[in-house]
């Protein structure tokens, strides 16, 4: 997006929040409240497995942009690159930062432009973008856009700020910044602020995150703070945060406009008490009051598996997007899908439950299962593994994994040990998974002594289903497994000529 040039500030309209959703519904909120001189809401580091970085804190005055070579680390991963499409056909990029699991703070002109036809029709947020989308975090898309009438009607830089609600709680993975306001100008002039973003005009191309920090030089209005340096297109909306003595980070402003020719100035629109409370109210309004479990980031190993074989591990996260803690049993159905959007129409290959689970409000927990088997009759192809949380929670439409939260796998031809043709027998098992009984169908070319054992995966004998002289021909053996615990088991069919070995899954 072209960098807004410094000009005379337009007279702002009343500082009213104006919200719009994808259906075009508009909500306006009047302001009439007595506010303290400062306030803060704390952020979180998320549950990402990546490492942490530490910002520079030596004295610096926003005089040099430095390349961030670790954008997947905290706190840099909290920042997002924004891709927006407007009604007039314009496509633009901006910067922003997560200040909640599902909310991005950015500049107003990044989501609404009178010249471009009004509200952006689509916006994609990409955390930790680095010459391409980060494959771990992926992206999230806008659901609602919110700004203030001072921007949407008058395009005043004093109110050049906006809030984006996302469809996916990507902040559960990345973490998010706190946010706050402070009415004292000295707070901005005498403290160090950090500002990462994605500069996109010469000599920059918008593909990499850059970072600068320092004290602000002056304030020209109650709502804007300036430093005497040049910013670039693409940095619009990048958040300016303060790190306190506890290393907690709070956003206080976002980059808005400036001079691209000497004398250089860059203006950041401040969070005021009104805007802080509007944002706080809007986030609370969007947060369910009762537990809402959202599955994220399914991963499995191995990535290539033979039909009839068990996955070594299936890992996933569950985020409780709610103002109330969850306590109880989490039950997840595991599906094999031909596409990256998992639904109950896909092939159910397992069910796993976890009891006595506690997930605090807006917190995330990790889960691991090792009892999922790829069905033996699965066609060789590429698939996706995903899950559906079956708990009845506040919002059931977000209980399935989609896109970045499913995991691609390759299913190979069945192993010769799961359906083998020995000199004495071939064997086929069904159904798997099963709850009560498993069937073994096999062919014998001649009478033989035969033994069918069921074992745990570590080799302990559970039961012997067949032992003795068996006639030639086709056989179907039904074995009761209702007394066995859920999990993966081994079957071993042994005869005079050899053995056939395979796996089956019992679910509970």
pLDDT (0 to 100) of residue 199: 96
Which of 239, 242, 293, 244 shows the shortest CA–CA distance to 78? Answer: 239
pLDDT (0 to 100) of residue 240: 97
Q: What is the pTM of this model?
A: 0.80
Which of 83, 70, 31 shows the shortest CA–CA distance to 281? Answer: 31
Q: What is the pLDDT along the chain (508 residues), one digit of tens a residue?
A: 566 765 544 444 445 555 555 555 666 655 555 678 888 899 888 887 767 787 776 667 788 899 998 999 999 999 999 999 999 999 999 999 999 999 999 999 999 999 999 999 999 999 999 999 999 999 999 999 999 989 998 999 999 999 999 999 999 999 999 999 999 999 999 999 999 999 999 999 999 999 999 999 999 878 999 999 999 999 999 999 999 999 999 999 999 998 877 778 899 999 999 999 999 999 999 999 999 999 999 999 999 988 878 888 899 999 999 999 999 999 999 999 999 999 999 999 888 889 999 999 999 999 998 768 888 788 899 999 999 999 999 999 999 999 999 999 999 987 554 434 344 445 677 787 888 999 888 777 778 888 888 988 667 889 999 988 888 888 889 999 999 988 888 888 887 666 677 778 888 8
- CA dist list (Å): 266 to 11, 235, 263: 20, 11, 10
Contact 52, 73 (CB under 8 A): yes
User: Cα–chain-centroid distance for residue 226?
Assistant: 34
Query: What homologous superfamily does CATH list for 293-412?
Result: Immunoglobulins (2.60.40.10)
pLDDT (0 to 100) of residue 443: 77
pLDDT (0 to 100) of residue 12: 42
**What is d(CA 33, CA 17) in angstroms, rounded to the nearest whole number?**
14
Residue range 17-27+62-286, CATH number: 2.40.10.10
Name residue, tokens 């994994």. 401
Residue range 426-506, CATH number: 2.60.40.1930
Report the DSSP pairing between strands 224-227 and 265-270: antiparallel
Q: Is-same-fold flag (17-27+62-286; 293-412)? A: no
**Phi and psi (nearest 5°) for 277?**
-70, -35
pLDDT (0 to 100) of residue 424: 43
> What six digits make up the tokens of 416?
């010769």
Q: Is the dihedral of CA 84, 86, 88, 93 positive or negative?
A: negative
pLDDT (0 to 100) of residue 503: 79
The Cβ-side half-sphere exposure at 297, using a 13 Å CA radius, reads 22
| Domain residue ranges of the chain, discontinuous segments joined by + | 17-27+62-286, 293-412, 426-506
- CA dist list (Å): 195 to 12, 84, 95, 114, 455: 26, 21, 10, 27, 59
CB atoms within 10 A of CB 331: 16
């Amino acid at each position: 997006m072209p960098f807004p040039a410094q000009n005379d500030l337009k007279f702002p309209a009343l500082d009213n929040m104006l919200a719009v959703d994808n259906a075009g519904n508009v909500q306006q909120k009047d302001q009439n409240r007595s506010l303290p001189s400062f306030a803060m809401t704390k952020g979180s580091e998320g549950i990402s497995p990546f490492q942490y970085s530490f910002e520079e804190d030596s004295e610096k005055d926003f005089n040099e942009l430095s390349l961030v070579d670790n954008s997947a680390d905290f706190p840099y991963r909290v920042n997002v690159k924004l891709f927006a499409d407007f009604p007039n056909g314009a496509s633009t990029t901006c910067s922003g930062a997560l200040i909640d699991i599902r909310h991005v703070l950015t500049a107003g002109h990044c989501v609404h432009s009178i010249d471009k036809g009004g509200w952006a029709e689509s916006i994609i947020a990409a955390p930790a973008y680095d010459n391409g989308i980060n494959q771990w975090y992926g992206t999230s898309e806008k659901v609602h856009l919110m700004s203030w009438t001072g921007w949407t009607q008058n395009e005043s830089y004093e109110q050049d700020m906006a809030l984006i609600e996302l469809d996916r709680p990507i902040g559960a993975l990345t973490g998010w910044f706190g946010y706050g306001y402070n009415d004292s100008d000295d707070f901005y002039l005498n403290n160090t602020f950090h500002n990462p973003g994605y500069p996109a005009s010469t000599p920059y191309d918008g593909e990499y995150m850059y970072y600068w920090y320092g004290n602000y030089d002056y304030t020209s209005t109650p709502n804007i703070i300036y430093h005497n340096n040049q910013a670039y297109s693409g940095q619009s909306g990048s958040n300016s945060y303060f790190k306190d003595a506890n290393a907690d980070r709070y956003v206080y402003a976002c980059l808005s406009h400036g001079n691209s020719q000497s004398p250089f100035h860059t203006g950041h629109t401040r969070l005021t008490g009104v805007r802080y409370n509007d944002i706080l109210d809007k986030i609370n309004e969007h947060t369910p009051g009762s537990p809402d479990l959202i599955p994220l980031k399914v991963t499995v190993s191995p990535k290539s598996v033979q039909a009839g074989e068990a996955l070594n591990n299936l890992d996933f996260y569950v985020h409780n997007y709610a103002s109330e803690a969850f306590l109880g049993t989490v039950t997840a159905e595991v599906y094999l899908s031909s596409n990256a959007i998992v639904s109950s129409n896909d092939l159910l290959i397992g069910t796993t439950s976890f009891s006595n689970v506690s997930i605090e409000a807006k917190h995330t927990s990790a889960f691991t299962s090792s009892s999922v088997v790829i069905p033996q009759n699965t066609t060789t192809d590429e698939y996706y593994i995903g899950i559906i949380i079956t708990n009845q929670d506040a919002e059931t439409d977000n209980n399935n994994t989609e896109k970045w939260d499913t995991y691609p796998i390759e299913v190979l031809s069945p192993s010769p040990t799961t359906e083998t043709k020995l000199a004495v027998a071939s064997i086929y098992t069904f159904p798997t998974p099963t709850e009560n009984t498993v069937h073994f169908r096999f062919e014998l070319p001649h009478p033989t002594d035969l033994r069918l054992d069921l074992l745990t995966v570590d080799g302990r004998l559970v039961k012997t289903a067949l032992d003795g002289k068996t006639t030639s021909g086709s056989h179907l053996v039904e074995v009761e497994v209702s007394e066995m615990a859920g999990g993966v088991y081994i079957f071993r069919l042994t005869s005079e000529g050899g053995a056939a070995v395979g796996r089956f899954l019992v679910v509970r």
